[in-house]
Structure 1
Amino acid sequence: MATLGGRLVPIPTGGRRGARPVVATPVVLQRPDAVNLVLRGGHRMERVRVVPLHGSAPERVVHLGHGERAAPLRYDGANRTLALPPAWMGELGLTPDQEVHVRPRDGGQRLRLGPLVGLWVTRAVIRQWTPSLRVLMQEARAAGAIPVVFDLDGIDRRRGRVAGWVERGGKPARAVLPLPDVIYNRATYPNLRRRARARELRRQLIAVDRIPFVNTAAGFPKWETYEALRFFRATRELVPATIRFGDRKTFAGFLRRYPVAFLKADGGSAGGQVLRIQAARGGWRVQGRNQRMQIQQRFGHLDDLHAFLTRLTEDGQWVLQEGIPLPQLEGRPWDVRLEAKKNGQGEWEVPFIFVRWGPPAAVVTNEAQGADIFLLEDFRTRFAGLKVLRDLDAVATRVGRLVAMALEARYGLQGEVGVDFGLDRQGRPKVFEANAKSTHAPVPGQTVPQARWPMQYAVWLAGRAWAGRETGLALPIRSRLTVGGGDEDAAP
């Protein structure tokens, strides 16, 4: 098999059954652009410049991701350089003067190199080598990581490796590398079988292989999001009233209380499965979409309305959410999409706040359904003097941090959370839903890519794993490495 210029040796990462979790040890980091990441206990994650190795050099044991091999190299800590064989640099997609991180061990006889960051995407994204993927690769390298791209079919846990792609000369090139230090999962699967397979694989990579994910959760179902936000006092008032759709009596009571309600698929996204139910003269009006089906109906009897919606939703779980009358400008509704992201110190920030300005009769304000997207500062400039916009950045920052922390408490470590919210008639924020895989498409005027945050956070996660500290998983990532042959040969 193709390897890193030599034989790949997988490293088992299974812990003992019943082993006590290691208490998390705080990590003290300098600025994201600092030379070294300093971890308590004297461990150092040093940022160095890679140069081609000319001539001979002593062999050292190099740990890369979940693999290791012996290779000639020359490490110069004083000058922050690492000389590697040119052939190996090519296999890793490294270019001269590219910066990576290392951690010397055993007096320099062993060296951990990386971090190897896996970018899990779909076949279509790889086939097209999309601009967003190229930006991800660029930001991973800028953060001092070694990126490798793969899809669902490229992950081979038994052999401890991924068959994927790196960039060589600005173009995608095949590579077979060890399982990565950290994985950033950007793949979505409409096909239910592939979705179930991806879900189980992700579970095994986290629970068995001890690989931290930038986002532990692949999505936030609407009902679970509602329950999580209702659980905490600080977020309880942020969510509109919500019930599971099904029972006729409960449905009737909800419509009596709220003249406008939204029926949403529990796992839907981009406004593709949202129906607005609105009280109208002599009955109710239903308008919206169920995937490719446009729906516009009127009903005079509640039984007919409930029966119609029951047939429409019989293949999945749906929730009914209180309708919040959105503020309007020039006859068009608007709401807010914020991006909460962890930085290179593992701290939550809200670096992006967008305003979505929907069409006049829009059921939802998603861009996919025709909304115009603005940076908050640009929208504020366009509507200068509008009082509600003055403090919206502070409101959005508070909402983003609270929602991110609540969902992290529910689902485990997250590196980014997209939050959609609107303002009610009293100006109070109401959260409609959250997203674990936000689009990274740039908005006019945006100068910094969203990918910068998750890639810097991925390096931070790898630093904790390298130091052998707890990363928030069910069991610790072990710092001791034992040579083995895969899951079946893992140490007891």
Structure 2
Amino acid sequence: MAQKLVGILLNAAVHRGVPRQKTGQESLLNYEEAAAAYGITPVFLRLADIDTDSGFCAAYIHGPQGYRRTILPTPSVIHNRAIYGTDSPGMKRLLRHVPRVFNNNNRYGKDEIHGLLAQNEELRRYLPETAKGLAGLAAMMNRYPDLILKPCRGSIGNGVMRLVRVRTSSWRWNLTYLPRGARHWATLPVDQDALPRALRTRLSKVPYLVQERIPLAEMNGRPFDLRVTVQRGWGGEWQVTGLFAKLAAPGGFVSNIARGGEALSSAYVLDTAFSSRDAAILRMSLEALSLAVARSLGQRLPGLADIGLDIGLTRDGRLFFIEANGRDQRYGFRKAGLQEIWKNSYRKPMGYARFLMEEAGPG
């Protein structure tokens, strides 16, 4: 019987590391084990190595001598783990020949996701007040004393800034930002009526969201939010694979692990910050909200099947949607000591891949 192949589409840098099994945060072993559980074989490929005319591709497949690049029929199901947007000509061409590519687009703008969720009446109340660009900043500075500015496209906290009103009797603010190439945050006093030229230029050239800063719950004086991994698995339904807490670095305001944040078990953090009863209720509410967000986005964004959601909660237990990550970096589970959930975050997509194969039938 011929092997049932599932393609794992990687970016060029990660793909180069496959023969040496040096693939950064992507675990080849987890893919192999997860795929084997569903009777399928993963092959690792780049978009440039797929010949849509012939129906063949060059991909790495594991054998007795390790990973070897081999010419293979292009898999009928592909899980995209590279960064491609809706305007990618290569991805458009691939989808015409291989329609079962899931997470084919994983570069949705924060403004696009916010706009889609704002159309859902049930989810609207979980969204922080949001505006866009320089005009939005001026309006928000008149309404809120603490603001977060973040680029509509970007990840790991790049370009995020914070504006805090320091004296309510005047229009004085502190702008906290990370200078280019620096490792430590800098703070600059600004006047609302005379914003720094660099800030005005940045917001004019790069699409930015301006949001009220949510007064996040804290553990030991460090604000935290929750990363919730939501995926389609066998059967095709959305499921919460797991969640972990992200604590901001001491004195920091962003929780991204790449910016000094720390990944910890959500059970530990919630039980520390809240009573046991409230922590249990919050966990159920977090999972229910995350499923509702995933289902809503899944109805509007074709191919969506594997996302990481950042959910904030306040000291009094209110939940807020912060952002969605189209290419969820699953290593946070491993860093939080949640080894089995980390492995399960690879099993779910492989189960979904097998489901798509079965749904398509033979041929």
Q: TM bucket by the smaller chain?
A: 0.7 to 0.9
Alignment of 1:116 with 2:25, yes or no, is no
Q: What residue in structure 1 maps to residue 97 of structure 2?
A: 209
Q: Aligned pair in 2 of structure 1 residues 363, 295: CA closer, same or farther (>3 Å)?
A: same
In the alignment, is the contact (CA less than 8 A) between 1:272 and 1:290 conserved in 2? no
SS at match of 1:273: coil
- The 5 A counterparts of 1:354-365 are 354-365=244-255
From 192, 195, 210, the counterpart of 1:302: 192
Partner of 2:159: 273
Are residues 1:289 and 2:181 paired? no
Partner Cα separation in structure 2 for residue 292 and residue 185 of structure 1: 30
1:337 corresponds to: 227
Query: Secondary structure of the equivalent of 2:108?
Result: coil
Which residue of 2 is the match for residue 226 of structure 1? 114
Structural mapping, 1:45-444, within 5 Å: 82=1, 113-128=2-17, 129=21, 130=23, 132-169=27-64, 171-188=66-83, 199-206=88-95, 208-247=96-135, 250-281=136-167, 282=170, 283-289=172-178, 292=181, 296-305=186-195, 307-380=197-270, 385-441=275-331, 442=334, 443-444=336-337
Inter-CA distance 333–150: structure 2 relative to 1 (3 Å threshold): same
Query: In proportion to residue count, which structure has more helix?
Result: 2
Conserved in 1, the CA contact under 8 Å of 2:219 and 2:272? Answer: no
Structure 1 residue 380, shift from structure 2 partner: 4.5
CA positional deviation for 1:292: 3.8
- State the match for 1:482 in structure 2: none
1: CA distance between counterparts of 2:360 and 2:181? 44
Question: Residues 350 and 310 (structure 1 numbering): CA distance in 2 closer, same or farther, change over 3 Å?
Answer: same
Q: Return the offset for 1:238.
A: 1.2
Aligned with 1:451: secondary structure?
A: helix
Structure 1 unaligned blocks of 5 or more = 1-81, 83-112, 189-194, 468-478, 480-492
Are the structure 2 counterparts of residues 390 and 291 from structure 1 closer, same or farther at C-alpha, using a change threshold of 3 Å? farther
Displacement of 1:378: 3.5
Whole-angstrom CA distance in 1 between matches of 2:157 and 2:196: 21
- In the aligned structure 1, how far is the partner of 2:139 from the partner of 2:86? 39
Length-normalised TM-score, structure 1: 0.66
1:162-185 per-residue CA deviation (whole Å, 9 max, x = no partner) reads: 111100126110111122111111
TM superposition shift of 1:306: 5.9
**Alignment CA distance shift 1:379-1:297 (3 Å):** closer
Give the Cα–Cα distance (whole angstroms) in 2 for the partners of residues 420 and 309 of structure 1. 26
| 2:338 corresponds to 1:445 | yes
Aligned equivalents of 1:114, 1:366: Cα separation in 2: 40
In 2, are the aligned partners of 1:353 and 1:396 still within 8 Å (CA)? no
Separation in 1, partners of 2:261, 2:65: 34
C-alpha contact 2:164 2:173 (8 A) present in aligned 1: yes
Amino acid at match of 1:320: V
CA positional deviation for 1:348 = 1.1
Equivalent residue pairs, number: 348
Q: Are the equivalent residues in 1 in contact too, given 2:175–2:190 (CA < 8 A)? A: no
User: 1:374, 1:444 within 8 Å by CA — same for their partners in 2?
Assistant: yes
- Aligned partners of 2:328 and 2:85: how far apart in 1? 21
CA distance in 2, matches of 1:456, 1:411: 20
Cα-Cα RMSD: 2.3
Q: Which amino acid aligns with 2:34?
A: E
CA drift of 1:150 comes to 0.8
Checking the alignment, whether the CA contact within 8 Å between 1:354 and 1:373 is kept in structure 2 is yes
Quickly say closer, same or farther: Cα 1:198–1:223, change in 2 above 3 A: closer
Residue 215 to residue 290, structure 1, CA distance change in 2 (3 Å): farther
Counting aligned pairs with the same residue, the percent is: 27
Q: Which residue of 2 aligns with 1:455?
A: 350
Q: Deviations over 1:407-427 (max 9, x none)?
A: 112211321121101113542
Shift of 1:299: 3.5
| Alpha-carbon distance between aligned partners in 2 of 1:461 and 1:291, rounded to the nearest angstrom | 44
Contact 1:214 1:454 in 2 (8 A): no
Whole-angstrom distance in 2 between the partners of 1:418 and 1:379: 19
**1:411 maps to amino acid:** L
Residue 216 of structure 1 and its aligned partner are, at CA, apart by 3.5
Looking at structure 1, the residues matched to 141 and 212 of structure 2 have their Cα atoms a distance apart, in angstroms, of 9
- Residue identity opposite 1:163 in structure 2: A
Tell me the equivalent position of 1:470.
none
Q: Distance in 2 between matches of 1:461 and 1:410?
A: 19
